[in-house]
Structure 1
Amino acid sequence: MSQRSPNPIQTLLICGGGSSEHDVSLRTADFIERQLQDVDDIALTRVVMDANGRLTDSKGGVHFLSQQRQLVAEDGSARDVHYVIPAIHGYPGETGDLQSQLELFGIPYFGCGPEASKTCFNKITTKLWLTALGIDNTPYQFLCSNNGGEAGKATMALQQWGAVFVKASNQGSSVGCFKVTEEEQMEEALEQAFALSPYVLVEKCLKVRELEVAAYTYEGELVITPPGEVCAPEDTFYSYEEKYAEGSRARTFVEAEGLSEAQLGWIHEASKRAFIGLQLKDLSRIDFFLTDEGDIYLNEVNTFPGMTPISMFPKMLANAGHDFSRYLSSLIREAVAG
């Protein structure tokens, strides 16, 4: 049995966050904790953040992160923090808020920076950036309020396209997302979406294959995996519940079949262009739509993808021949040494 390093890298795993994605964040943290438990030179401390930003350990002790790069307990005791893993889906992890605090404190961390996180979490700003980078994305309408004129744009889009998705702009990928096929459904969908976000996206509903790419830095090189595929049940779309529920009926394939060399080439090029152009760091999951007509649209960029037992990112990383424990521990060592 190997012995712990006498001076391990004190690594803080922050999970939870108190948003609608709190429970999924805990399951992602479970995965990360298992990956690092046998790494001799990394000492992991796990805390759960609630909706008020309070950090609690497994024994119920409350802590806060100080500008002195320490995790401070209520009794005043403190331990150094050399590195942070912000395993929080949704607010404040994927929104860039937590990363901004870590930047202010000068603590290196796993994942994308504040600006990239905020840009990619907002579905509208993501689309604007993708267009600027020359990457096709699904046709849409942008609503800035739920008044008569703006709601009319949504109804016109429905009439033109036949079916639409109404999406809260700054929520997780499947949170606040409603499929609308009848005008009678539009009012409720808009109300629910605007309750979650000040901006709403109305997107054309397409019959597509849903493809996902894992993009990450491994030993200094950007890796872009071949696309995997998610097949949602025919009677539903890939909702938040279908994505993360233990009883999900969605089927996943670590490598999508039947894609041409041209399609694979463009997905690789678009993923690389997005990763570099959006200034992503360490990891992302980049999702595409492939239509029956052969059109490829970049749907969204997830700056901190899920790592639950049914999540695609760790499966695609492993399929590429890479070990997640080695991947993450090497990033930690490099960041702390730098």
Structure 2
Amino acid sequence: MNEPRKPRVAVVFGGRSSEHGISCVTAGSVLAAIDRDKYDVVPVGIATDGRWVLESDDATRLAISGSTLPEVDASNAMVALLGAAGSTDLVVTGAAEVPRTLGSVDVVFPLLHGPWGEDGTLQGMLEMAGVRYVGSGVLASAVGMDKAFMKIVLEAAGLPVTPGITVTRREWDTDRVSALTRVEELDYPSFAKPARGGSSIGISKIHHQDEIAEAIELALEYDTKVLVEVAAVGAREVECGVLATVDGDPETSRPAEVRIGGGHEFYDFEAKYLADQDTEIDLPADLPPEVEQELRRLAVRAFEALSCEGLARVDFFVLADHTVVINELNTMPGFTPTSMFPQMWAESGVSYPELVDRLITLALERDTGLR
């Protein structure tokens, strides 16, 4: 009698965004954690030019080396999802080779960060193909990626956010004076960031009027829309993980506080990924019980306001008077060794391998389509 086939998990990572390397690091950690006795795992990389390839299952190749980030090897054999009646197969195609199938895919674990992956584009493709996947659907992914629209949705739900405005490439090119005037009307300091970016890439802190143009130009290198927000001066940066349950009631982790040192003015890319000695994490965050309770309550409300599924990390500012303000929500938070999301859940009693297994299990139990 044949044993039942193990569920096949396609771990998809890389992508065309500026966060390609961080996505690869995240994938390396997840590949090392998946229970191979329980799942059949297929690593699928998306190269920076958009090609899908069959990647190495060697997690160590996807680690940060000094300050060098890993990349998907675009020279590998190309791979595609081929829809068939009742299933979706992974088909490998190589130069001068007959296409071969790796068998059907039961669930995709999309570990892409940024546009062309985390923003609902990949989720839409998987919905069309009828393939189950980890994490939020098209709408929540798209809104979660676009911080400007995220603020609109959160405000409409009655949730506290920092004041901000958007500046588009078109406005900057055709009516720069108006754009500068609107930014100048915000308080200083403020932050300019790509509206649909992540990993703190392209962010600048604006201290005075003379820095506005340079900050917006930098953000426009990564996106055609820039979000400028008032800085929460003196606030503590606290994050909280949200995890869906089978019965649909989200759970929250113990929150963690990020404290920046080493001359970093804010939690920038280097402080996040390349300067562990300069960044300190208080886990759990040293908060009064009523403040932690309020923060966790707001994390669930933000999760539900965006119609998130599976998981999310909600980032907060805790002001001097203990007022809690939402900074942003990430529908696919990082899973690198230094990422906050798995660390917070480990502190809350869910180990890294258990967290990965729970997310895959949730995805396998959830149908695609309207729900």
Matches within 5 A, 1:256-275: 256-257=285-286, 259-275=287-303
How far the C-alpha of 1:235 sits from its partner, in A, is 4.1
What's the counterpart of residue 253 of structure 1?
Answer: 282
Q: Is the 8 A contact 1:174 1:239 kept in 2?
A: yes
TM-score (norm 2): 0.84
TM-score (norm 1): 0.92
> SS in structure 2 opposite 1:269?
helix
How far the C-alpha of 1:313 sits from its partner, in A, is 0.6
> SS in structure 2 opposite 1:184?
helix
Counterpart selection for 1:162 from 177, 188, 201? 188
What's the counterpart of residue 302 of structure 1?
Answer: 330
What's the counterpart of residue 172 of structure 1?
Answer: 198
Overall identity of the aligned pairs, in %: 30
What's the counterpart of residue 67 of structure 2?
Answer: none
> SS in structure 2 opposite 1:301?
strand
- Taking the aligned partners of 1:5 and 1:165, their CA distance within structure 2 comes to 56
- Taking the aligned partners of 2:141 and 2:77, their CA distance within structure 1 comes to 30
What's the counterpart of residue 316 of structure 1?
Answer: 344
Classify 1:331/1:237 alpha carbon distance in 2 versus 1 (closer, same or farther; 3 Å): closer
> SS in structure 2 opposite 1:152?
helix
What's the counterpart of residue 23 of structure 2?
Answer: 25
How far the C-alpha of 1:93 sits from its partner, in A, is 2.1
Matched, 1:210 2:237: yes
What's the counterpart of residue 353 of structure 2?
Answer: 325
Matches within 5 A, 1:53-92: 53-58=50-55, 60-68=76-84, 69-74=88-93, 75-78=98-101, 79-92=103-116
What's the counterpart of residue 244 of structure 1?
Answer: 273
Classify 1:174/1:331 alpha carbon distance in 2 versus 1 (closer, same or farther; 3 Å): closer
Q: Is the 8 A contact 1:168 1:201 kept in 2?
A: yes
Counterpart selection for 2:139 from 92, 102, 115? 115
Q: Is the 8 A contact 1:219 1:330 kept in 2?
A: no
Q: Is the 8 A contact 1:167 1:200 kept in 2?
A: yes
What's the counterpart of residue 12 of structure 1?
Answer: 10
Classify 1:330/1:229 alpha carbon distance in 2 versus 1 (closer, same or farther; 3 Å): closer
- Taking the aligned partners of 1:64 and 1:332, their CA distance within structure 2 comes to 21
- Taking the aligned partners of 1:112 and 1:309, their CA distance within structure 2 comes to 22
Superposition CA RMSD, Å: 1.9
Classify 1:333/1:136 alpha carbon distance in 2 versus 1 (closer, same or farther; 3 Å): closer
Q: Deviations over 1:41-87 (max 9, x none)?
A: 31001021013321222362211122231111113111211110011
Q: Is the 8 A contact 1:10 1:82 kept in 2?
A: yes
What's the counterpart of residue 229 of structure 1?
Answer: 257
Classify 1:184/1:214 alpha carbon distance in 2 versus 1 (closer, same or farther; 3 Å): same
Classify 1:14/1:178 alpha carbon distance in 2 versus 1 (closer, same or farther; 3 Å): same
Classify 1:148/1:73 alpha carbon distance in 2 versus 1 (closer, same or farther; 3 Å): same
Q: Is the 8 A contact 2:133 2:364 kept in 1?
A: no
How far the C-alpha of 1:326 sits from its partner, in A, is 3.1
Classify 1:5/1:183 alpha carbon distance in 2 versus 1 (closer, same or farther; 3 Å): farther
- Using the TM superposition, name which of 46-55 and 217-226 deviates more: 217-226
Counterpart selection for 2:44 from 36, 43, 47? 47
Counterpart selection for 1:183 from 201, 204, 209? 209
What's the counterpart of residue 103 of structure 1?
Answer: 127
How far the C-alpha of 1:22 sits from its partner, in A, is 1.0
Matched, 1:195 2:218: no
Amino acid at match of 1:19: S
Count of residue correspondences: 330
What's the counterpart of residue 136 of structure 1?
Answer: 160
Q: Is the 8 A contact 2:115 2:196 kept in 1?
A: no
How far the C-alpha of 1:331 sits from its partner, in A, is 4.1
- Using the TM superposition, name which of 212-221 and 83-92 deviates more: 212-221
Amino acid at match of 2:307: Q
What's the counterpart of residue 63 of structure 2?
Answer: none
Q: Which runs of 5+ in 1 are unaligned?
A: none
Q: Is the 8 A contact 1:241 1:248 kept in 2?
A: no
- Taking the aligned partners of 1:256 and 1:276, their CA distance within structure 2 comes to 23
> SS in structure 2 opposite 1:328?
helix
How far the C-alpha of 1:196 sits from its partner, in A, is 2.3
Amino acid at match of 2:190: V
How far the C-alpha of 1:165 sits from its partner, in A, is 0.6
- Using the TM superposition, name which of 235-244 and 120-129 deviates more: 235-244
How far the C-alpha of 1:129 sits from its partner, in A, is 0.8
